[in-house]
Structure 1
Amino acid sequence: MRGGTVLIALTLLLLVLAVASACIGQVPTAPAEVIGSILHRIGLDIGPMPAHPSGEVTLWQVRFPRVTLAVIVGAALACAGALLQGVFANPLAEPGVIGVSAGAAVGASLVIVTGGAFVAGSAVAAGAFVAGLITTALVYLLARSEGRTEVVTLVLTGVAINAFAGGLIAFFTFVANPAARDQIVFWQLGSLNGATWNAVAIVAPMAVIGIAVSMAMASKLDLLALGESAAAHLGVNVERLRQLAVVVVALLVSASVAFTGIILFVGLVVPHLMRMIVGPGHRLLIPASALCGAIVLLAADLGARTLVPNADLPLGMLTSLIGGPFFFWMLRRTRHQQGGWA
């Protein structure tokens, strides 16, 4: 009952925040006008249309794609975090540990350096997506030993690959011309400024598939929490489960950061917070994390657009500045109250 209430509350909060985000900008739009515009688009002549001459175009070409992409990416990153924490049985695990974000940054940097500062955004996104998947596959293959993968080995391999990727990014930044260097730095800071319906159309199917597969894995993740031996005795193929989890996380994160740049802490903080609220059961934890992740990223993007007049702050910077101290508070609270895995 409590879990259902939490999901309903998160859904309502997400809807309210989405409408509020669509209202705010240089072209003033009332909430009733936002809702009326949506209803008219689906064939219902109910509610007022935007009064401003540019209101309708602004909503559908600028704000709605940005809001939608923020919801999808936030949900995907948080779901990836919940999945990775479940398969690692560690609340401190996050998608970056398997190298997908760093790999995506290498791919984006390579495309920018070789293609010039004004290379098409779709090419940068494609490079980031492919490199993120390749890096994750490389981490997994290097961590395998005698047909199985140890969690500690996978984490340590991810740390090494992340360090190597950081060196490559530094090299590309060094050799790039000033304009390309600025683009590399800006991409790594994260932003939804370039959100389009084309980006939404590419990311949305992969996010839906990834979240659906994660939900299908929920019961096995709950059994894995009992320990590898116990899960194996109960019929769980632990190695295959880990393989599938790594693939799903790579898909979710690579697709997300390809169009937004690196966004930190959503995949770490949100699942940890939801676990404290709804408990460790993944059938509830995964959808709750997805909803909360969408809320967090949408709120962060709203702050990025409004905190400084006529400026669009880096989204990754905001999530790091807020997420770091917040996670430290949650960690301290968990240690004092439960003394371990929340």
Structure 2
Amino acid sequence: MGEMYGIDGDLFERHYRNHLSGYRQWDQLSHAEDWVLFPKNMGSYLGIDEVALSQGELYTVLINKEAHGKKGSIIAIIKGTDAQTVCSVLLKMSRKRRFQAREITLDMASHMELIVRTCFPTAKRVVDRFHVQKLAYDAVQEMRIKARWEALDREAIEIHYAKTKGERYQAPVFENGDSLKQLLARSRYLLFKKESLWTQSQRQRAKILFREYPDIKKAYHLTMQLGLIYHQTKHADLALTKFARWYDQVDRSGFLSFGTIVRTIQSHYLEIVNFFHNRATNAASESFNAKIKAFRRVFRGVKDKAFFLFRVCKLYA
């Protein structure tokens, strides 16, 4: 605009911030860097998550999911993730408004659960299904990465041995042209996908991977079975039965990384099973976080946090 109208762009930006935008008259300016709160945006169905605003500095964001990411979405944005700090801000809302909340989606972080339990005691807590499934995906990737490091170590030893004999080392390759370390590196993405979504090359690579590493094959199928519980089950009681059967399979597998998942699920099973009542996820919060990040990217970072939050709130609060 500065170039179009022949004015200094930086000067115009300062004038917009200080005079045209209403920023200096904003009723939340005095505490905007630490928190902003919009009690009138409270609703029945909420989502809570954290987002990095600038240089990895985390903010806790509470949204009204019924606003569908438009005006009225933001209930609160609070600096940090400390439960006591976040609660001190959310408790500024009246008891009547806080008790409007019927359902809140969140991840499995203990501080998030404490925040929700303290500020919205009557709301049903629903652990996001994608966070549960991500634990299983991470367990499979952990097995793949461990196997890759072992392959790298083995190859380094073989290279050294070949040098001592004055020979040139040539890594053996599989029928698709991958060496062992390449096979393990290139299998990363196919382990996140269902078999029906694999390309032909991924199908061939998976066949070789599962032949060489049966444990990874078993872990992959356990992960897919967990996803099927979420996808196919409609009732909470049936979900509990299916989770119990899945636990038994995990126990029989003997995979230590999956043991961590089972313990995590068991400690949050009530909040996890609540998903099957309304099939609520935290996708709205993740989508809203993506909007904040996109907004931040447009302005190439955040210099003035208070002004950045002012502009976000003008759009979404």
Length-normalised TM-score, structure 1? 0.24
RCO (CA 8 Å, sep 6+): is it higher in 1 or 2? 1
Greater strand fraction, Structure 1 or Structure 2: 2
